[in-house]
Copies of this chain bind each other. A is one copy, B any other.
Amino acid sequence: MKPQQPHATAEKLIDIAETLFAEKGFYGTSIRDLAEGIGIAKSSLLHHFPTKEKLYAAVLGKLAAEMTAEVKAIRTAAGDEEAQIFRFVQLLCDHSEKKPLRVNILMRELLDNPKRAETAKKWFFKAYFKELATIIRSGQLKGLFKPVHPETFILQLLGAHRYLIISLPTVKQVFDPPVYRHILENHRAELETLVKERLLATAT
């Protein structure tokens, strides 16, 4: 059997796992489904990831690493904290348009994390979260931002965005198309306005 790229199968597994875990959750997804999804036997999956938990952790780990790297890139890039936070909101919306299922994983992780032993000790998104809080604090020190409580504000900002994203499928099938379309169209602007009005110390 040709080895292709090393770890190519493992990468494929992480990809399919990201999709299926996002759609059906950890307990709703079987390792059989995952293996069949990329056309290998179930025991072959277990050769790469000895348990379902480990595969799930790999998915979260990869996702968290990508997200954290992005925020750090924003931090070190040009621009003051105001530019950084708007760039962040922009990325948030862009990603959710391209890969809305990722948000599902992040949500499910929050819901299930307190229960699953394997991943309980270290939380994959701690660095991501801290980085964001640092942007806020730094902007506040420069007088760019209002004195909101950084962690609370970030949770509310992420929540305003992510909750809306995971609501979209339901909204689409329950409400009239114009309502759905308006939500889609207005979300980004409303989120930016939220940041403007809640965070920016407007020149007085």
Contact = CB atoms under 8 A, between A and B. Distances in A.
A173 B114 contact: yes
Interface string A56-79: 000000000000000000000000
Interface residues of A, number: 52
Contacts of A156: 160-161, 163-164, 187, 190-191, 194
Interface centre among A107, A110, A153 (most CB of B within 10 A): A110
Given A27-B25, A159-B162, A182 B149 contact: yes
Interface in A188-204: 190-191, 193-194, 197-198
B164 A163 contact: no
15 contacts: A24-B115, A25-B27, A25-B112, A107-B111, A110-B166, A113-B169, A151-B179, A151-B182, A152-B187, A152-B190, A156-B190, A159-B161, A159-B164, A193-B198, A194-B194
Interface of A: 23-28, 104, 107-108, 110-115, 120, 123, 126, 148-149, 151-153, 155-164, 166-167, 169-171, 173-175, 179, 182-183, 186-187, 190-191, 193-194, 197-198
